[in-house]
Amino acid sequence: MSSIKQYIDLYNEFGPRINTASHEVLNAMRPAALASLNECRMPSKGDENYEISDLDAIYSPDYGVNIDRLDVAVDTEEPFRCDVPNLSTILFYASNDIYHDNQLASSQLPKGVVVASMRSAEVDEVVKRYYGKVAPIDNPQVALNTLLAQDGMLVYVPAGTVVEKPIQLVNLSRAASPMMTNRRMLIVVEDMAQVKMLVCDHTQSGDVDLLNTQVIEVVVGKGATFDFYDLEEASAGTHRVSSMWVRQAADSNVLINGITLMNGTTRNDYHIEIDGERAETQLLGMAIASGSQHVDNHTYIGHNVGYCRSNELFKYVLDDDAVGAFAGKILVAPGSPRTEAYQSNRNICASGNAKMFTKPQLEIYTDDVKCGHGATVGQLDQDAMFYMQTRGISCREARTLLMQAFMSDIIDGVRLDALKDRLRHLVEKRFAGTLAQCRSCTVAQVCHTKIKKK
């Protein structure tokens, strides 16, 4: 039996309660989502186009769903650390899939910029115009998220507006028993606007199985600039299924950088449609996995018009029994001359048991283009290891230095200096085995206090 059926049954039984605790725009999309789910199933082992992530198995366990939007029981004594203390941001947060408006943070936004829960009345028109218009409802992950998501966060930047400070969203996952959360984001950056975003995912229930589903829709207008940094520091019991859908207009500039430092099982999908000439896209990704962790990134960049440029680079370092996967596709459509598109996936298996699966793809249906793609899977340079050890560097330190150097170009792609410096520190700690989760963070203590007082 497909894992989708239990969620269809859940909605058929509790649909009115789900709608009561949600927003009319989100509710209006549920019939289409339900119809789509009745006609499809999650990819699983044995499928002709099966990659690595068995999504059907990920969704199969009997997770609880917070359909009545109850506040999460959070212990304010338990410390938490965001790990980006030197970065001055406009800070918002979510507990599981409940988004909390922050009036203090909102007061720091330029006039006309909105960062708010989709349930807020002030965002009705923007949500009605764009929600569900970028992510396709016939995609099973999108359809299931659309069926069950009861809230979401809107980030709206009006035309010509520059947001100087990065907007940061901290997602806190916590539950006493197995729990499924359904997060939704809608980001609209209008013509000639500029904004940078940092999203941090943290788990505070290391001994509980959690499933976090996430759908992010992004609209980037003409001449607009949008940076998005996605930092995951989760527990071994956390399953994350995230998909990001982007549409770029002419002369726009988009940078997306996905960073997996700590996790259980992660599946990220990035789908970018370049619809306007002279647009530029950078899609970067980094995954560090050890133990039995699993990281799977699927990407698609569609060059639908000419005179655009994209650069894609994903790197993995896998140790112990970790498994990594990358499936990337670049499509240059007919009538898209002077396209430049480059894709690279480079990987290190630092142990004999680690496994990496890679599938780069490039399809070109027009002339006069510059395109290239490739993938490598290797081990640490033994000559370099030997050389460093002859200079008095221990084997462990040598491994750490080589792995850090391997990830340097992904970190260098960050266009926020404070975040770039912090990532170097976090990566160093991760490779050294000293990266700890959820320690003292003033931000989370404030979040927890607010939740407790409600």
Reported as a single tens digit per residue, the pLDDT across 233-273 is 998 899 999 999 999 999 999 999 999 999 999 999 999 99
**CB-CB contact of 286 with 260 (8 Å):** yes
Highest mean pLDDT among 220-224, 347-351, 407-411: 220-224
3-class SS of residue 20: helix
Taking the C-alpha atoms of residue 321 and residue 314, their distance in angstroms, rounded to an integer, is 20
Tokens of 431: 């490779």
Q: DSSP for 364-424?
A: E-SSS-EEEEEEEEE---HHHHHHHHHTT--HHHHHHHHHHHHTHHHHHT-S-HHHHHHHH
Nearest to 57 by CA among 206, 181, 211: 211
Angle between the N-to-C axes of helices 382-390 and 395-406, in degrees from 0 to 180, rounded to the nearest 10:
130
The pTM for the full model equals 0.91
Reported as a single tens digit per residue, the pLDDT across 359-384 is 999 999 999 999 999 999 988 777 78
Reported as a single tens digit per residue, the pLDDT across 14-34 is 999 999 989 899 999 999 999
Give residue 121's pLDDT band: very low, low, confident or very high (50, 70, 90): low
Which residues neighbour 39 within 8 Å (Cβ) at sequence distance 6 or greater?
A: none
